Copies of this chain bind each other. A is one copy, B any other.
Amino acid sequence: MACTDIIFRPIGTIHSAHKELDKILIQPVFANGIKGKVVLKPEFIDGILNLQAFSHIYLFYYFHMSQKTRLHVKPYLSDEEQGIFATRAPHRPNKLGMSLVRLASIEGDTLYIEDMDIVDGAPLIDIKPYIKRFDLRRSVRSGWHDEISEDTVSARGRRNYDRGP
């Protein structure tokens, strides 16, 4: 272990119906209505005080099913190669996942989530609230993503889309 290593310890676990990596929905916006939950370790429950008043939260987790690292990838929505940092693909040097999800309710140590796109069993690293004032940016250029039609997004952003040979 190098002295510059950053060590995080899971604060909980993500539970979802997505058991296989290749069948997963690729973003929460495509997982409309699909439910899941986050179970916190007991020692972190105090940290969610007042979180229930937020409708949307960011979940940060470890892409525990992803082993490869690739600096160029073809994202699910595109046939062009993109730099890994210009995508949300899991094959990143540090396998940090981020999903912006809807928080339905909280009961004890459990957060009930809607629009769940995360693989079952992913170790939870952090939770941050979605704050409109900070996170909603209207005048945005989204690179290669802006060139993809809503039809393409709609077709490819689902399970079992076959990119073809």
Q: Which residues of chain A have a CB within 8 Å of any CB of chain B?
A: 1-2, 4-11, 27-29, 44, 46-58, 60, 62, 71-72, 81-88, 92-94, 96, 98, 100, 123, 125-146, 153
Q: Is the CB of B130 within 8 A of A142?
A: yes
Q: How far is the CA of A96 from the CA of B44 in the complex (A)?
A: 16
- With a cutoff of 8 Å between Cβ atoms, the chain B residues found around residue A83 in the complex are 46-51
Cα-based distance from A158 to B130 in the complex (angstroms): 21
Q: Supply 7 A–B pairs (Cβ within 8 Å), ascending by A.
A: A6-B123, A11-B93, A44-B85, A46-B83, A54-B142, A86-B129, A88-B128
Which B residues touch A47, using CB under 8 A?
71-72, 83-85, 92-93
Cβ contacts under 8 Å, A27 to chain B = 134
B contact residues around A100 at 8 Å (CB): 134-135, 137
| 8 Å CB contact of A94 from B58, B86, B125 | B125
Closest Cβ neighbor of A46 among chain B residues: B71
Query: Complex: how many Å from CA A161 to CA B87?
Result: 37
- A5 nearest in chain B by CB position: B7
Are the CB atoms of A88 and B131 closer together than 8 Å? yes
Of A1, A93, A138, chain B has the most CB atoms within 10 Å of the CB of: A93
A84–B43 Cα distance when bound, in Å, is 13
Q: Which residues of B contact A94 (CB under 8 A)?
A: 8-9, 11, 125-126
